[in-house]
Chains A and B, each alone.
Chain A
Amino acid sequence: MFYREAGQYKTNYAADMAVFPLRQDRIGIAVILAIAFIGIPLLGNDFFIASVMIPFLVFSLAAIGLNILTGYTGLISLGTAAFMGVGAYSCYKLTTFFPGVNIIVLILVSGLFSAAIGVLFGLPSLRIKGFYLAVATLAAQFFLQWAFVRIPWLFNYNASGAIEVPQRTLFGLPITGASATPETRYFVCLGLVVVLTWFASNIVHGKLGRSWMAVRDMDIAAELMGIKLLNAKLTAFAVSSYFAGVAGAMMIFLWYGGGEANDVFTIRLSFTILFMVIIGGLGSLIGSFFGAAFLSALPTALKFGLPALGVPIGGAAAEHVTFMLVGALIIIFLIVEPHGLARLWQIGKQKLRTWPFPY
């Protein structure tokens, strides 16, 4: 009824190629941004912002990174957590070397190191694909995880072996370190995620994104059409690892904050992000957000929601239930809708558009 394209004429090519061709969609995005920037900081309490929204934003960025590689280019990676770790550790080294530079700049730059490492481990993708490539990325996962523990230079020879987040300020407000409030950290995260999502959206809708999708759909055909596989695959690894690296730096500096982040970049984190991408929808940016929201909120919801409803459940039991639920949900999603939450979203929009008629 209210969601119709009737009466909206496209009078130039730019309008035809717009990412959000419908006025209603543009309004929807504006509303979501308004809620994110104004509504949540005003209405949410510290707990909600610190342990629901910030993890959600960090995971969304990581999921977008993996989605670029797995969803858009069709290369499976099981090493996302390691690339996130590269971002986190290089951000730490950068803060030590350049204490005067703004932390946001450093977080963005640390993604570049992650991108370089990603390209290095992406090299085998030129010769292998599918499951074989998954194993190659496992090599990255285990090697980098080993390096984070065994190379003391990376954590400045700390006794704890973990990253110690220094206090840094923006416009006089502390945004990292122990004294940063959840609200300021949330705003920094949100700003980074919005800008980088816009960036990702432009890439995947542009020439580069199209070449990735061509490689995903059939690499031999893409090669015959003049797409250089070397460039397409390696740029996919670079961009994907860049996003993962920034997400990793954000994870340590804006989410964890303290020194408790010794052992987060494990294979299990890689799997979690892969599940976010699958459940959210392969090859969809909004799907990355859906998947991240779903899987990062689920453990918190089970841990705090079920006792509130009167179901007695301990921390360990909640974790087991989460595992079982995640496993079951993955299977259900693959059976019911292999294209994930993003496809459900699309179907919903289509139904709304033709409502009250079935088609």
Chain B
Amino acid sequence: MSDVAAQPTPNLLANGWIKSGLIVLGLVAAAIVGARIDPTGTIHAIFVDPFNQMAQAPDLLAQTIWEGLVSGVLYALIALGFVLIFKASGVFNFAQGIMVVFAALTLVGLYEKGVPAFLAVVLTLGVMFALAVTIERVVLRPLVNQPDIILFMATFGITYFLIGFGEAIFGGNPKQMIAEQLYLPKGAIDLKILGGIVSLQKIDIAAAIIASLMIAVLALFFQYTRIGRALRAVADSHKAALSVGISLNQIWVIVWFTAGIVALITGIMWGARSDVSFALEIVALKALPVLILGGFTSIPGAIVGGLIIGIGEKLGEFYWGPLIGGGIESWLAYFIALGFLLFRPQGLFGDKIIERI
């Protein structure tokens, strides 16, 4: 992975897209030939039968894609929190998943104590701000200019602390999200298309809309504000940013607080679909393949990556899962990301890492 200053001759095979395209084409051709030769065997079951099923029941396909899209939005939201912190402080924040759980638990916990729903949201934001300040004071400030890997490990520490803290305060039982009190829509819209019914949960539509809004706001914030520029400067180099007078401490609080807001919104959306529990911690790990797909530094990448992983996972589970016993959802995302890594290690939209000796 050395940087080449001037490419002497443009080699078509050096382009990752063309190369991977050729390989995929080759695989498809081989599969078609294989299926022709043996119409009932394994190759047929893997490469032809699922597509037959898709063609025969397009409404089912649409429903599966929608389900994938929805879980993809949630993965994307978690990944967004990762990207924000990575872009702005170069820290790979493993604690984002638990921050989502923590924010949601705080919200529900406050509501159960009798605080009105919207006041609870405000108070939760206050808690997330306090958390950001604490993390900056206790964890990040003493670790300025340490290698990335040390900061990464420190976020493991934050994760474990928050798990213990959250369970000690709120208990380990799953809780119900206060979706109605926050005026989130309930119920489903049944669309009659493609010769069948596709049912869309209203909360999912709301999640998609809120997510897109948030992404737009964040993109504007990063691109056009003073603080946004400062955030990007800090990401490039702690030392250089300090030397031009950017307050590292302030920037870190801001970015962790932003990630906390994203975490709260993710937590509300997630909690409204299922319930609020620490199981989300494992689900949050799915944000990692999403990041690989989209690139660590790209907000659009997090979104597109999330959608690809969500849809790919659901399609794989529904059409190919039964072939090997089901439940493949737990690892398919990682394999999609792994396959992707072999062709494009920097992700779809990520910055290409150039290493100099």
State in angstroms the CA–CA spacing of A250 and B238 once bound together: 46
State in angstroms the CA–CA spacing of A324 and B168 once bound together: 9
Does chain B have a CB within 8 A of A109? Answer: no
State in angstroms the CA–CA spacing of A233 and B282 once bound together: 28
Does chain B have a CB within 8 A of A20? Answer: no
| Chain A interfacial residues counted at CB < 8 A | 46
Q: Do A142 and B334 touch (CB < 8 A)?
A: yes
Which residues of B in the span 156-212 have a Cβ within 8 Å of any Cβ on A?
156-165, 167-168, 172
- Chain A proximity of B97: nearest CB distance (Å): 12
Q: Which B residues touch A124, using CB under 8 A?
A: 338, 341-342
State in angstroms the CA–CA spacing of A349 and B357 once bound together: 36
A143 contacts which of B150, B162, B331 (Cβ < 8 Å)?
Answer: B331
B160 contacts which of A127, A146, A324 (Cβ < 8 Å)?
Answer: A324
Known contacts A135-B334, A220-B357, A321-B168; A331 and B157 CB within 8 A of each other: yes
The residue in chain B whose Cβ has the minimal distance to the Cβ of A126 is: B342
B90-102 interface mask toward A, CB cutoff 8 Å, 1 = contact, 0 = none? 0010000000000
Does chain B have a CB within 8 A of A33? Answer: no
Does chain B have a CB within 8 A of A180? Answer: no
Which residues of A in the span 298-332 have a Cβ within 8 Å of any Cβ on B?
316-317, 319-331
State in angstroms the CA–CA spacing of A82 and B336 once bound together: 19
Q: Which A residues touch B271, using CB under 8 A?
A: none
Q: Do A127 and B164 touch (CB < 8 A)?
A: no
Which residues of B in the span 69-93 have a Cβ within 8 Å of any Cβ on A?
92
Q: Which B residues touch A321, using CB under 8 A?
A: 164, 168
**For chains A and B in complex, what number of residue pairs have CB atoms within 8 angstroms?**
131
State in angstroms the CA–CA spacing of A114 and B264 once bound together: 41
Q: Do B334 and A143 touch (CB < 8 A)?
A: yes
- Chain A proximity of B252: nearest CB distance (Å): 15
Which residues of B in the span 275-296 have a Cβ within 8 Å of any Cβ on A?
282, 285, 288-289, 291-292, 296
Known contacts A138-B334, A139-B338, A338-B150; A322 and B164 CB within 8 A of each other: yes
| Chain B interfacial residues counted at CB < 8 A | 49
State in angstroms the CA–CA spacing of A317 and B165 once bound together: 10
B138-152 interface mask toward A, CB cutoff 8 Å, 1 = contact, 0 = none? 110011001011101
Main SS at interface, chain B: helix
The residue in chain A whose Cβ has the minimal distance to the Cβ of B151 is: A334
- Chain A proximity of B248: nearest CB distance (Å): 16
Does chain A have a CB within 8 A of B335? Answer: yes
Most B CB atoms within 10 A — which of A130, A143, A151, A334? A334
Does chain A have a CB within 8 A of B325? Answer: yes
State in angstroms the CA–CA spacing of A127 and B2 once bound together: 13
B345 contacts which of A132, A134, A324, A327 (Cβ < 8 Å)?
Answer: A132
State in angstroms the CA–CA spacing of A267 and B146 once bound together: 27
Q: Do A146 and B327 touch (CB < 8 A)?
A: yes
Which residues of B in the span 101-151 have a Cβ within 8 Å of any Cβ on A?
138-139, 142-143, 146, 148-150
Does chain B have a CB within 8 A of A145? Answer: yes
The residue in chain B whose Cβ has the minimal distance to the Cβ of A221 is: B357
The residue in chain A whose Cβ has the minimal distance to the Cβ of B292 is: A135
Q: Do B357 and A323 touch (CB < 8 A)?
A: no
Does chain B have a CB within 8 A of A23? Answer: no
Most B CB atoms within 10 A — which of A275, A317, A323, A326? A323
Q: Which B residues touch A325, using CB under 8 A?
A: 164
Does chain B have a CB within 8 A of A1? Answer: no
The residue in chain A whose Cβ has the minimal distance to the Cβ of B152 is: A131
Known contacts A132-B292, A267-B282, A267-B285; A327 and B158 CB within 8 A of each other: yes
Which residues of B in the span 205-246 have a Cβ within 8 Å of any Cβ on A?
none
Q: Do A150 and B327 touch (CB < 8 A)?
A: yes
Q: Do A331 and B150 touch (CB < 8 A)?
A: no
Q: Do B168 and A317 touch (CB < 8 A)?
A: yes
Q: Which A residues touch B341, using CB under 8 A?
A: 124, 127-128, 132, 136
Does chain B have a CB within 8 A of A69? Answer: no
Q: Which B residues touch A246, using CB under 8 A?
A: none
| Other contacts beyond A138-B285, A316-B167, A330-B154: 14, CB < 8 A | A128-B345, A139-B334, A139-B337, A146-B330, A220-B357, A275-B156, A320-B168, A323-B167, A327-B157, A330-B156, A331-B158, A331-B161, A334-B143, A335-B154
By Cβ-Cβ distance, the 5 closest A-B pairs, closest first, are A323-B164, A327-B161, A327-B160, A330-B157, A139-B334
Show 21 residue pairs from A and B whose CB-CB distance is below 8 angstroms, ordered by the A residue: A124-B338, A135-B289, A135-B292, A135-B334, A136-B338, A139-B337, A145-B330, A150-B324, A150-B327, A267-B282, A319-B164, A323-B167, A328-B157, A329-B157, A330-B160, A331-B139, A331-B158, A334-B143, A335-B139, A335-B142, A335-B154
| B residues neighboring A (CB under 8 Å) | 2, 92, 138-139, 142-143, 146, 148-150, 152-154, 156-165, 167-168, 172, 282, 285, 288-289, 291-292, 296, 324-328, 330-331, 334-335, 337-338, 341-342, 345, 355, 357
